[in-house]
Chains A and B, each alone.
Chain A
Amino acid sequence: MNKLKLALTKGRLQDKSVELFEKMGLDCSQIKNPGRRLLLTVPNYDLDIVLAKATDVITYVEHGICDLGIVGKDTILESKQNFYEVLDLGFGKCRFVLATQTGENFYENYQNRCIATKYPEVTKEYFTKKGMDVSIIKLEGSVELAPVLGLSNAIVDLVETGNTLKENGLEAIEDLYQISARLIVNTASMKMRKKEILDFIKKCDAFGGKND
């Protein structure tokens, strides 16, 4: 039978995943020094690793090209595709916040509120649940600029420490969601290769640092 294939989000989650894999006893020599290769293998476990951008991890898993994936909850919330989200890996922690310029009262106004964000779906769903109609502008980066320059009243963004907000004269006024890395599984793979996949999940769970 083929090896299991895992799509791994490049960058920060990649390093944290390597830490976890090494605790699990996986040989991560290739993942630590991938060079320019994007297709890697774990020599001492029936596992191949694919390095990809966060949103693409979800695409590969949804299409069944990869059986498993490690990706941030932020990406999952924004994309809403069809797969199993089986484990909170506990690392890569941050949160979605609503932030405004310091001192501004976001809610105390009858005028239409405008929010700039890299995550329009997350923002739309959150405010729909609140029963509030807001306008959303999608930006690709440096979202903190938007309220300062007057493009929007507030932003929804991922925050780890809040320092970037502070340095740009913004403050978080509300937490939307807590974010961390998740292990996701293709729905068909889960059924066709139950034993191998549940074994892998169990190992991740046993060594995962949920209490970090």
Chain B
Amino acid sequence: MDRYIINTPEGTKDSLFCECQDRRKMEGAITRLFSSLGYSEIITPEIEYYDLFTASGYPLPQETLVKIIDRSGKILVMRPDCTTPIARVAATKLKNTDFPQRFYYNQTVFRSNVAHAGSNAEVVQCGIELLGAAGLKADVEVLVLAIEAIKACGINNFYIEIGHTGFFKALAKELDAPPETIELMRSYIEQKNFDALKVLLKPFADKPSFDALNKISHLFGGEEILAEAQELTNDLCASRALDYLKNIYNELLAAGHQDKIRFDLGLVQQINYYTGMVFCGYIESAGSIVLTGGRYDKLIETFGKPVPATGFAIDILAVLGCLPVSSPPKLKSIIHYSFGSLAQALSYVATRAPGTCEISPCLDLAGSKKLAKKKGACRVVILDKENETEVKL
């Protein structure tokens, strides 16, 4: 009988040595940043009830959730996202606290993906949620943190791209089209399927938002596209969304971050989840989005208390993939100690650079020398009571 012993489940992997160090270093840099700016850590369970996600309108299909049946027959899921559980906490445990509240997390989320597509089943996310604050100041704060967080990873060649769900929603409303048509249009815009969008829009040529919708998939790039978009519409709500983005840009300009900012008015993913500004992060040499975020003012209300909120998550492994794996330190010394000198040996190791020396488990010196040769160390340090001698190899 074949047994599943050798392989880890698809989409998972073991991490060793420098892979772990690099990851912890990056997580440390990001979480220190969050913490220094007044965000406190939140840890939520790795398993939650399935209902938590279905009731709150979790946007990914049910087959992407990793499920477990508990002893009483209830359906549990491995946490597929960090924001929904935090929303649950905000509406329940924090019901009577004073908002705003600022949280950060460093947690793994779990996905059941298409087989053999090379995607991760475990996604390590570092992110923040700013709960109980609506409006420009909260959105700009979160955007600046997103920029600073990627910089803290030692990466400089990246963009944060901002959109606004209100722009598309306002234009779509003007069409007076059935919801299925709007949804189809939204998916064409999401895919930047210029041709299909053109065909779909043909019957709406007399509607005021026709021009803007026709060009919406092309409206991405620097802040100049905001003015370009403004030329295309007279709709009040659409203009308001553009003004809002312009204000965001001005604030980020004042903070000195303008060169990291791009806009895409065709960011229409998960349009029923986000309620205002949305954004994502791209890094040169990463093949996919490494950061997603936005404003979600309706989510927490599904758990019983209306709280506006905004936040983002960084995909740590995707960012790590853009950097070279650091090389391991070279082993220099093998420590051979006599019985009674263990404390001395340990303190010797502890005061050297990590990974440059290790303690020999061999009983005789010859064994320790052999070990040193095998591992490529250049000397054996002999610790005997107070005496320290060394043999060069």
* B-binding residues in A (CB < 8 A): 59, 62-65, 81-88, 185-192, 194
Contact = CB atoms under 8 A, between A and B. Distances in A.
A88 B220 CA distance: 21
Contacts of B195: 87-88
B193 A86 contact: yes
Interface stretch (B30-38, B51-59, B143-151, B283-291): B283-291
User: 9 tightest A-B contacts by CB?
Assistant: A64-B287, A84-B192, A88-B195, A85-B193, A85-B191, A188-B282, A191-B282, A63-B287, A86-B192
Contact of A87 (B159, B194, B284, B286): B194
5 contacts: A86-B193, A86-B194, A188-B287, A188-B289, A191-B159
A204 to B, nearest CB: 12
Interface size range on B against A = 20 to 34
Nearest to A65: B287
B282 A194 contact: no
Contacts of B192: 84-86, 185, 190
B178 interface: no
Given A62-B287, A65-B287, 7 more contacts: A59-B117, A62-B288, A85-B193, A88-B195, A188-B288, A190-B192, A191-B161
A191 B262 contact: yes
A194 B118 contact: no
B116 to A, nearest CB: 9
A194 B159 CA distance: 12
Nearest to A184: B191
Contacts, number: 53
Given A59-B117, A63-B118, A194-B221, A188 B286 contact: yes
A64 B286 contact: yes
Nearest to B190: A84
B139 interface: no
Contacts of A63: 118, 287-288
Interface string B270-295: 00000000000011101111000000
A194 B282 CA distance: 13
Contacts of B193: 84-86
A194 B220 contact: yes
A156 B223 CA distance: 47
A16 to B, nearest CB: 17
A64 B262 CA distance: 20
Nearest to B118: A63
Contacts of B221: 194
Given A59-B118, A63-B118, A194-B221, A187 B288 contact: yes
A134 to B, nearest CB: 19
Contacts of B262: 191
Nearest to B222: A194
Contacts of B282: 188, 191-192
A191 B220 contact: yes
B264 interface: yes
B287 A192 contact: no
Interface string B207-238: 00000000000001100000000000000000
Most chain A C-beta atoms within 10 Å of own C-beta, residue among B262, B287, B289: B287
A83 B289 CA distance: 11
A42 to B, nearest CB: 22
A85 B194 CA distance: 8
A192 B159 contact: yes
Contacts of A81: 117
Interface in B176-201: 191-196
Contacts of B283: 188
